[in-house]
C-alpha cells in the first residue's frame, strides 16, 4: 500500500428507510476497502434500525441516524421518534453534515439517492465539494423502469446534482445486464462520469459459526430468503403451499422470513412451517451468506444483494421477483434468465402451488451461474478499490474539530466538473 494512503478516510451514506439492501451493499464495500488498505478507515451513515446486529471489521464503524419508514401510501414517517417527518429529516441532515465535518473524508460515497432522502445530503455534498472531497454516487445495476424513474428523478432534481456535484457515478453491475439511467436524458458530461464496476462479490465467513444453527442445515437444503422481508409474504406463502401440497420434494427448505416482515405474518408462517417435516423457518440471520453458501439452491425475490450472493457462491437459483412498487427485481431477473444465470418464476396472481412445487423439484438440475461466461461479472469490489486508491494518494489535511471551529476548512483544487 502506498505510504500516502495512511490515515485516509471514506464516508458512506445509506438512507435505509427499510430493508437490508443498501446497508449490506455499503458494508461489503467498506469491508473490501479496509481489507485491501490496512490504514484506511470507513464510516457508514445509516438509517437502518438493525445495523447494530451486523459484525464490522476493524476500522469500519457506523453512525445510526434516526430511522424513517415508507408507508403503503408512499408517504414517510418517523420510525420510532414521536416527531413529525420534516423534523426527523432536519435532524438527520444535521447529524449527517456534522459527522462529515468532523470525520473529514477523502472520499464520500452516496448510495442510490443523489441528494439523499428528501434532499438531506445536499448541504453535506456542497460542503465537502468545497473542501475537495471526491464525491461518488453508487447505483445498483437496475433502478426502475424508465416510465417510473424519469418523473421520480425530475421531481428530486437529481440530474443537476450528477452534473454539478459528483466526480463519478459507479454502477455496481454491467451494461449488458442493464443501464440504470435508461430513459433519462443524461447530458454528455454526466455520461462521461459513469463507470460500470461489475457486481459486488460476497464471501462466506471463514471462521466456524459461533451461533446455534437451524437443525435443518445438517443435511442438504434449499434456502428460501426474502431479504428484509417487508414485502416477502407472497414468496413465503407460495413456497409453503408447495410443500404442504406435494411430498415429492427432493430437499427440505430453510425459510428466512426477514426482520421487517409483519409479526402476525411471521407467527402464521412459523406455525405452518412447524407442521411440515421438510420445512424450518427462522426470522433473521445476520450471516446469511453462510446459509446461502451451504445450500443446494436458493429461492429468492431477486434483490441486488441476493443476486450478488447467488453469483458469488455459484448457486442454482429460482427467482420470484416483485413488481411493486418498483420493477427493479423483475428487470434484473428477466435479463439474468436470458443469460442463463438463474430461472425466474413470475407471480401471475394465481400462484399455483403445483407450479411452485415443480420449479422446486427442478431447481437441483438447473445450470449454475458459472456455467455462463460473462466477462467482468464479479469484479465490482476490485474495481471500487482501484477507483478509491487513486483518490487517496493525496489525503485531505487533517484538522481538529476545535481548529475547524475557529477557521475555514482548507480546500484543495477539485478536478470534478
Per-residue pLDDT reduced to its tens digit, 22-58? 888 999 999 999 999 999 999 999 988 888 888 899 9
How many CB atoms lie under 10 A from the CB of residue 69?
Answer: 17
Name the helix (H) or strand (E) containing 69.
strand 68-70
For β-strands 76-78 and 68-70, DSSP reports them as antiparallel
For 358-413, write each residue's pLDDT tens digit: 999 999 999 999 999 999 999 999 999 999 999 987 655 554 333 333 333 333 33
> Residue 273 and residue 191: Cα distance in Å, rounded?
49
Within 10 A of 32 (CB to CB), how many other CB atoms are there? 21
- Angle at CA of residue 384, ends 48 and 121, nearest 5°: 40
Q: Is 91 exposed, middle or buried (0-12, 13-18, 19+ CB in 10 A)?
A: middle
What is the pLDDT, as a whole number, of residue 220? 94
CATH code for 3-201+378-406? Answer: 3.40.50.2000
Q: Give residue for cell 478516510.
A: 9
Class in CATH terms, 215-371: alpha beta
- Between 257 and 86, residue with greater pLDDT: 257
Same topology between domain 3-201+378-406 and domain 215-371: yes
Confidence (pTM): 0.87
Looking only at the bridges linking them, the beta strands covering 253-256 and 317-319 are unpaired
Q: Per-domain residue ranges for the chain? A: 3-201+378-406, 215-371
Q: What is the pLDDT of residue 6?
A: 57
Amino acid at each position: 500500500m502506498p505510504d500516502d494512503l495512511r490515515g485516509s478516510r471514506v464516508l458512506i451514506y445509506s438512507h435505509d428507510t427499510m430493508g437490508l439492501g443498501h446497508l449490506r451493499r455499503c458494508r461489503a464495500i467498506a469491508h473490501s476497502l479496509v481489507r485491501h488498505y490496512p490504514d484506511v478507515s470507513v464510516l457508514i451513515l445509516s438509517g437502518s434500525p438493525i445495523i447494530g446486529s451486523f459484525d464490522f471489521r476493524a476500522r469500519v464503524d457506523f453512525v445510526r441516524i434516526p430511522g424513517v419508514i415508507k408507508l403503503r401510501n408512499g408517504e414517510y414517517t418517523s420510525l420510532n421518534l414521536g416527531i413529525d417527518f420534516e423534523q426527523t429529516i432536519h435532524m438527520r441532515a444535521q447529524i449527517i453534515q456534522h459527522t462529515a465535518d468532523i470525520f473529514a473524508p477523502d472520499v464520500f460515497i452516496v448510495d442510490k439517492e443523489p441528494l439523499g432522502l428528501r434532499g438531506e445530503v445536499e448541504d453535506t455534498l456542497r460542503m465537502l465539494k468545497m473542501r475537495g472531497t471526491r464525491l461518488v454516487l453508487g447505483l445498483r445495476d437496475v433502478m426502475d423502469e424508465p416510465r417510473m424513474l424519469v418523473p421520480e428523478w425530475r421531481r428530486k432534481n437529481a440530474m443537476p446534482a450528477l452534473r454539478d456535484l459528483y466526480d463519478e457515478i459507479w454502477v455496481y453491475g454491467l451494461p449488458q445486464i442493464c443501464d440504470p439511467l435508461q430513459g433519462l436524458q443524461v447530458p454528455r458530461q454526466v455520461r462521461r462520469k459513469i463507470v460500470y464496476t461489475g457486481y459486488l462479490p460476497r464471501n462466506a465467513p471463514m471462521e466456524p459459526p459461533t451461533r446455534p444453527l437451524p437443525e435443518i442445515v445438517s443435511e442438504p437444503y434449499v434456502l428460501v430468503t426474502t431479504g428484509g422481508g417487508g414485502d416477502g409474504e407472497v414468496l413465503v406463502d407460495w413456497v409453503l403451499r408447495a410443500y404442504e401440497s406435494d411430498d415429492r420434494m427432493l430437499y427440505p427448505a430453510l425459510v428466512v422470513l426477514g426482520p421487517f416482515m409483519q409479526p402476525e405474518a411471521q407467527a402464521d408462517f412459523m406455525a405452518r412451517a412447524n407442521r411440515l417435516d421438510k420445512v424450518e423457518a427462522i426470522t433473521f440471520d445476520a450471516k446469511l451468506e453462510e446459509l446461502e453458501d451451504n445450500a443446494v439452491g436458493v429461492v429468492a425475490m431477486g434483490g441486488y444483494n441476493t443476486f450478488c450472493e447467488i453469483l458469488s457462491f455459484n448457486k442454482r437459483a429460482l427467482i420470484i421477483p416483485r413488481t411493486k412498487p418498483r420493477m427493479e427485481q423483475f428487470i434484473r431477473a428477466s435479463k439474468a434468465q436470458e443469460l442463463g444465470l438463474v430461472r425466474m418464476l413470475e407471480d401471475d396472481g394465481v400462484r399455483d402451488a403445483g407450479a411452485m412445487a415443480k420449479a422446486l423439484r427442478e431447481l437441483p438440475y438447473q445450470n449454475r451461474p458459472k456455467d455462463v461466461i460473462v466477462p467482468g461479472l464479479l469484479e465490482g469490489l476490485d474495481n471500487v478499490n482501484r477507483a478509491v486508491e487513486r483518490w487517496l494518494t493525496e489525503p485531505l489535511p487533517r484538522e481538529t474539530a476545535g481548529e475547524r471551529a475557529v477557521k475555514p476548512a482548507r480546500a484543495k483544487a477539485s478536478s470534478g466538473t
